[in-house]
Structure 1
Amino acid sequence: MRQLLLVSLLVVSPAVLAKTECSSADKAQWQDQNNFQEALKTQGYEIKKFKVTDGNCYEIYGKNKEGKKVEIYFDPVSGKKVKEEID
């Protein structure tokens, strides 16, 4: 049983620990953070937390226009969603 648990952890761990990569572009090409957040708010998002990740993403925690909790990673250049989790 213990071996099965260890094998399961080894198989799952890389996927869990993998960070989301959004952009390799120079930061001079990124959209302005404040303008980007304002654009999201006009689309109906409520932003509780905004940050720039190690994978060069704009990441928000908050609610979508339906009021559901979201965690979304955006490409800071194009503004497109790269990954979205909805509760």
Structure 2
Amino acid sequence: MKTTEYTPAVSRAHRRHSAEFKAEVIAACLQPSHSGRRIFATTLIEKGVGINAVSTLMGHSSVSMTSQYVENNPTRLKQICTDLF
């Protein structure tokens, strides 16, 4: 089986694409209001996106800041408990 060799050009293209994607996500999803940021963070967490990724998308330097934007949905918490037992 042939393996793909990653070259600096591929790496640069990937970083450029990632940066463009991040900018598009932020522009499309984040509203300037804190309520929009809370909705964005909570929705991503509920969809199973890790808090580190959400933190990066929101431009935070720490997950502790991001965690302040994530709201605990009582229905979601009940489902988590049900899934555990």
TM-score of the alignment, normalized to the shorter chain, above 0.5 = no
Normalised to the residue count of structure 2, the TM-score between the two structures is 0.32
Normalised to the residue count of structure 1, the TM-score between the two structures is 0.31
Q: Which structure dedicates a bigger proportion of its chain to helix?
A: 2
